[in-house]
Amino acid sequence: MSNDPREKPNPKEKTGNGVGRILTAILIFQLGIGAMLVLGDVQLGRLSLPGLGPNAPRLTEPVRPGDQRRTYRPERDRPPTQPARDPGQLPERLMLTQIEGATYRLEGAVAEGDGARVKKLLSEATPTPETLVLQSPGGSVQDALELGRHLRDREIGTQMLAGEFCLSACPYILVGAATRDIDDSAQVGMHQHYFGQSTILPASFAVEDIQAGQGEVMVYLNDMGIDPMVMTHALATPPDEIYVLLPEQLREYGFVTQED
C-alpha cells in the first residue's frame, strides 16, 4: 500500500470495514442478550448450573415435613437410613433373584428394554412370583410403566424393606403391584422426567413429548388407584433433585395398600 497522502482511499475497503464492524457489534449485542437471559433463568431458579441456582441438601440428609427436596445423583446419593441389607453397587439394569419361595428381589436401575426383558423373566421364574422386594434408583419411565401394568395383570405384589429406596421412575413399578407394603423408613421419591426428547429437534417438539409423557403417567397413576395429585410434587422438582414422600403422604396418595 502506498504512503502517498494524495492517494485516495479505496471505497470498497471502507465499505468492507464498515460491514465488519456492524457484524461484530451485532454479535456482541446478541451475546450480551444471551448472557442476561441465562443469568435471569439462574436467578429465577429455572436453570441449574454447578454452584448456581437452588442449593437443596443432599439425599443423605434426613427428610422432614416441608423439607423434602434433595439433590439427586443416582451413582452418588443414598438415603441416610440404615437399610435391611447393604446392596453394594446396584446393577445397571433390573435383576430378578429369588429370596425364598414365591418372594423375589427386583433390584437395579431401569434400563431401556427392561420392561419386556423383566416380564419374560417373571413368566419363566419357578415358582411363579407373588411378591417383589423392590429397590431401584429409577431410569426409563416407559419401561417402568410397562412393567407396572404387567405386575397388575399378574396380580404380583411389591414390598419395600426398612431403609431401602425406590426413586425417580421406580415408583411407577411400585404402584403397579396388586398389593404394596412399604416400611415407614423406606424412601419413595419422584421428580421431573425426560420422555425421549431430542436436543436436535426444535423446542416445541420437546415440550410436546414432555407433556404427552406426563399425561400418560397421570392416566397410569389413576388406573392404578393412585391420586394423580402426587404429580404436583414431581412436576415441581427438577431432574437433578428428588422429592421424598413422607409415610403419611404414601398412605394419603394410595401408595400403601390399606387393609380391609
Q: Where are the domains of the chain?
A: 10-55, 69-252
Report the run of H or E that residue 21 belongs to, with start and end: helix 11-44
Contact in structure between 160 and 182 (CB atoms under 8 Å): yes
pLDDT over 50 at 41, yes or no: no
- Entry pTM: 0.73
Q: What fold is seen in the domain 69-252?
A: 2-enoyl-CoA Hydratase; Chain A, domain 1 (3.90.226)
Neighbour tally for 38: CB within 10 Å: 14
Please state the separation of Cα 177 from the chain's center in Å. Answer: 21
**Which of 25-39, 49-63, 82-96, 127-141 shows the lowest mean pLDDT across its residues?**
25-39
Look up cell 420392561; give the residue. Answer: 115
Contacts of 217 (CB under 8 A, 6+ apart): 141, 145, 172, 193, 231
pLDDT over 60 at 244, yes or no: yes
Confidence category of residue 60, pLDDT binned at 50, 70, 90:
confident
pLDDT averaged over every residue in the chain: 79
Output Rg (C-alpha) for the chain, integer angstroms: 26
pLDDT at 13: 52
